[in-house]
Amino acid sequence: MLSAKADIRNVPRHDLENIERLFEDLIDNHDYSYAIFGSKPMSLADFNLKVPENLSLYRRLRSKFFLVKRRARLKSWYKHRREFNFEDFIFLDEESDWLDCLVLILINKKNMLQVLRDNEAIFKEEIGESFTPESFLERLEKREISFAKATGKNQRLIGIMLGYGERNATIFQKRFDLMKVVARRKKENLPEDETMKKELDAIESRIACFSEPEADATIHPLYFLADVSHPETVALKRKYEQEREQIIELRKKGNFMDLVLQRLASAE
């Protein structure tokens, strides 16, 4: 049972267990541990709250089973979230303006503020000259604006905020834009643009997976497309691998979920 430094005396055992399972899911199937215990400024998890169509009967029943559990865990969290004071973090738990999914975003305030300051010129370029790191983060924390609207769903900004590096975020945005144009031209039966194709091929030749997924990993390595030979990426890989090893050691402790909630609910 959790013994985190949060005011959880009024949370029934069943709800507390549901909340624990929710954060276990965010750590086991997403990358929340890097933002909680490491230098990653933000982690993002997308939750599908509908059973996908065109599934076999078995897979449909299985999907429905997991969906019921997920809804129960979220219900427990929303019911008792005021009992948890995440001083060093911002947990955006109602980000629903992302098509048909619910997005849960955990921001490490200290890490994020540093990243926003380091990349302030880029954010001004994409958002506008009125951007300041402090006001941007404050508006998110006060829920004055959703994350999707604050960033305009800009892939470059989101990649930087996720800790993927300026180079990788920028090249991913370029690839994203090119692929949208290619798809539109194909849909409109327009001839292939050779210059655009060469540019896209050049990007594809430079990028690869930042890390390879590992089946049954204690803590999964971070997974995203990256310019793997770029110095910034090499430095990121070294840093995140060190953090991963440290988190794995923490995970070996029997009270790991206690440590998670304690870190979220306490100030450094």
CB–CB of 210/244 below 8 Å?
no
- pLDDT at position 84 is 85
- pLDDT at position 135 is 97
| C-alpha to C-alpha distance for 226 and 234, rounded to whole angstroms | 10
Question: Taking 80 as the threshold, does the pLDDT of residue 10 lie above it?
Answer: no
- pLDDT at position 4 is 44
Domain map (residue ranges) of the chain: 13-265
| Closest to 23 measured CA to CA, from 257, 259, 266 | 257
State the burial class of residue 51 (Cβ atoms within 10 Å of its Cβ: 0-12, 13-18, 19+): middle
Residue 27 Cα to chain centre, angstroms = 11
Query: What are the tens digits of pLDDT across the range 73-117?
Result: 999 999 999 888 888 999 999 898 876 788 999 999 999 999 999
Q: Which residue has the higher pLDDT, 8 or 72?
A: 72
Q: What is the mean pLDDT of residues 232-238?
A: 97
- pLDDT at position 37 is 96
- pLDDT at position 5 is 42
| Closest to 162 measured CA to CA, from 26, 34, 29, 25 | 34
Q: What is the mean pLDDT of the chain?
A: 90
- pLDDT at position 59 is 79
Query: What are the tens digits of pLDDT across the range 153-211?
Result: 999 999 999 999 999 999 999 999 999 998 998 889 988 888 998 999 999 999 999 99
Residue 39 Cα to chain centre, angstroms = 13
- pLDDT at position 218 is 86
Question: Taking 70 as the threshold, does the pLDDT of residue 9 lie above it?
Answer: no
- pLDDT at position 153 is 92
Cβ neighbours for 143, distance < 8 A, ≥ 6 positions apart: 92
- Predicted TM-score of the model (pTM): 0.90
- pLDDT at position 65 is 83
Question: Taking 80 as the threshold, does the pLDDT of residue 19 lie above it?
Answer: yes
Three-state helix/strand/coil letters over the chain: CCCCCCCCCCCCHHHHHHHHHHHHHHHHCCCHHHHHHCCCCEEEEEEECCCCCCCCHHHHHHHHHHHHHHHHHHHHHHHHHHHCCCCCEEEEEEEEEECCEEEEEEEEHHHHHHHHHHCHHHHHHHHCCCCCHHHHHHHHHCCCCCHHHHHCCCHHHHHHHCCCCHHHHHHHHHHHHHHHHHHHHHHCCCCCCHHHHHHHHHHHHHEEECCCCCCCCCCCCCCCEEECCCHHHHHHHHHHHHHHHHHHHHHCCCCHHHHHHHHHHCCC
Query: What are the tens digits of pLDDT across the range 127-165?
Result: 999 999 999 999 999 999 999 999 999 999 999 999 999
- pLDDT at position 217 is 85
